[in-house]
Amino acid sequence: MTDELDTTFTDTDTDAFDYAPLRLTIDLGALADNWRDMKRRSGKARTAAVVKADAYGLGIEDCGSTLYHAGARDFFVATVAEGATLRSYTPEARIFVLSGIWPGQERQVFDNDLVPVIASEEQLSFWMGTVAERGEHPCALHIDTGFNRLGLPLDDALSLASDVTRPASFDPVLVLSHLACGDTPSAPMNKVQLESFRQVSAAFEGIESSLSASAGIFLGPDYHFDLTRPGIAVYGGEAVNGVKNPMRPVAKAEARIIQIREAGEGQTVSYGGTFLLKRASRLAIASVGYADGYQRSLSGSGIPLRKMGHGGAYGVINGHKAPVAGRVTMDLTIFDVTDIPENAVRAGDYIELFGPNVPVDEVAHAAGTIGYELLTGLGLRYERQYLVDED
C-alpha cells in the first residue's frame, strides 16, 4: 500500500466527473486502511466488514471488492438482495443477512450461499422447517440483550441452547447481539449487555460469538469475542462520542458553483427571507440541495436548530471556509463567500461539502444528526470517482 494514488478510476467517465454538477470521490485506499486499523484494534478476534445500505451509501460493489481484497472474509448486509449483489464480488466470503429470511427468499439464500441471521421466533420456526426440508445450511442467531430492536429474548435463547430436541439440520455458526450505547463508553448499559451476552456465549459453547460493531471495538478486548463487525469507522465516520476520530476520511462530496452574485446590506437570502445581510456580500450558489442529501436542517437560518443557537454548516472552497447563507433548497444551496478573496472563488469552482477539509460528522452535527445519515442519504445525482492505490 502506497500513499500515491493511481490516476485511473473505476466505473467512471473522467470527463463527466470533471464537469458534473455534483461529484463524490471515494478513496478506496483509505477504506482498506480503515478496515485494517479496525482489524488491529480487534486483537485476537476476526474482523468482518459491514456493507449494508449500499456500503453506507458509497457503493457495495467497489467497497465490498476492496474490503475483500484487503482481507475481509466475513461480511454483513441488511437484506437478502444486498447479499446476492455482494456475492459476485466476494466469492469465498461468508455473507450474513441481518434481516434474516422470510418465505419466498429460500432460493436466493441457498443459491448465493447466504447466512440468514435469525432474529425472531417466527423466523426461527420458518428456518427450522426450511432446513428440515432442504438439508443443513448455516445460520446465525441474533439475541436481544437489552436493545429491544431485533433478536430472540435472552431467556428464549438460553432455552434454545439447551434444547436437545432441536433438529440436527439446525446449524447456527454464530450468535450475535448489538450494543445500544457503545458510542458512549461510560454508559452503564454497555456492561449490562456484556454480562447478558456472556451468558449467551457460554450457553452456545463451540459456536462463535459477536457483540461489537465499530463503537464496541473501541471498548476493548472484553467486548470483542470471536468476531467484530466494524461499519461506520471503516467509512471514515465517528464511532465514539466526544473523542477525536482516528479514522481516515473516505468520501468527499463536492458541488459546482453555478453563480456568484453581489447582494447589498439589508437584503435577505433564500426562502422566507430569514437571513438578513448585515453588510454588502458575495454569495455563491452551489448545485446541491436536500434532494441530494444536503439536508434542509443544515440551513444558515430559518430552522429550529438555528433558533436554538446551533451553528449552521459550512463548505470549503480552495482552502477557505464558506458558511451556508439562508435556507437550503431542493437543488441549490447558497454560501457566503464575502470573506474569501475574489480571485480565490469563481463560477465553475467546486465547494467541498464534506471530506478531508470538512469532517462528515461535523456537518452531521450541524444538521442535528449523525454521519451515518448523511452518507446513506446521498442522492442519485452525484457523479462518482473511485480512487485506488497503486500496488
Mean pLDDT across the chain? 94
Instruction: Write the pLDDT tens digit of every residue in 306-327.
Output: 777 777 899 999 999 999 999 9
Task: Identify the CATH class of 28-235.
Answer: alpha beta
Q: Are 326 and 301 in contact (CB under 8 A)?
A: yes
CA torsion sign for 266, 267, 271, 272 is positive
Question: Domain spans of the chain?
Answer: 28-235, 251-369
Cβ-proximal residues to 165 (8 Å cutoff; 6+ apart), any chain: none
Comparing CA positions, the residue from 220, 213, 203, 325 lying closest to residue 263 is 325
Average pLDDT, stretch 239-265? 97
CA–CA separation, 147 and 113 (whole Å): 29
pLDDT score for 149:
95
3-state secondary structure of 70: helix
The cell numbers describing 134, all together, are 432442504
3-state secondary structure of 152: strand
* Structure confidence at residue 5 as a pLDDT band (50, 70, 90): very low
Does position 304 have pLDDT exceeding 90, yes or no?
Answer: no
* Structure confidence at residue 390 as a pLDDT band (50, 70, 90): low
Helical axes 80-87 vs 60-70, angle rounded to 10°: 60
pLDDT score for 7:
40
Q: Is 52 a catalytic residue?
A: yes
Residue 130: C-alpha distances to residues 94, 99, 136 (Å): 20, 17, 9
Q: Nearest 5°: phi and psi at 354?
A: -155, 155
pTM for the model stands at 0.93
3-state secondary structure of 218: helix
Q: Are 390 and 30 in contact (CB under 8 A)?
A: no
DSSP letter, residue 248: P
pLDDT score for 160:
93
Considering 19, 39, 44, 52, which one is annotated as catalytic?
52
Domain 251-369 CATH (choose: 3.50.50.60, 3.30.465.10, 3.30.390.30, 2.40.37.10): 2.40.37.10
The cell numbers describing 244, all together, are 477525536
Considering 223, 235, 271, 278, which one is annotated as catalytic?
271
* Structure confidence at residue 14 as a pLDDT band (50, 70, 90): low
Q: Are 38 and 234 in contact (CB under 8 A)?
A: yes
pLDDT score for 168:
79
In b/e form, how buried is each residue of 289-301, taking b as 16+ CB within 10 angstroms?
bbebbbbbbbbbb
Instruction: Write the pLDDT tens digit of every residue in 119-170.
Output: 999 999 999 999 989 989 999 999 999 999 999 999 999 999 998 778 778 8
Instruction: Write the pLDDT tens digit of every residue in 103-121.
Output: 999 999 999 999 999 999 9
Average pLDDT, stretch 218-229? 98
Q: Are 158 and 203 in contact (CB under 8 A)?
A: yes
Comparing CA positions, the residue from 50, 3, 62, 54 lying closest to residue 30 is 3
Hunting for cell 445500505 — which residue is that? 53
In b/e form, how buried is each residue of 228-237, taking b as 16+ CB within 10 angstroms?
bbbbbbbbbb
Q: Nearest 5°: phi and psi at 66?
A: -60, -45
pLDDT score for 138:
95
Instruction: Write the pLDDT tens digit of every residue in 348-387.
Output: 999 999 999 999 999 999 999 999 999 999 999 999 999 9
DSSP letter, residue 222: G
CB atoms within 10 A of CB 337: 26
Length of the chain: 391
Average pLDDT, stretch 173-192? 98
Does position 258 have pLDDT exceeding 90, yes or no?
Answer: yes
3-state secondary structure of 267: coil
CB atoms within 10 A of CB 46: 17
Q: Are 265 and 240 in contact (CB under 8 A)?
A: no
Strand (E) or helix (H) holding 306: helix 304-307
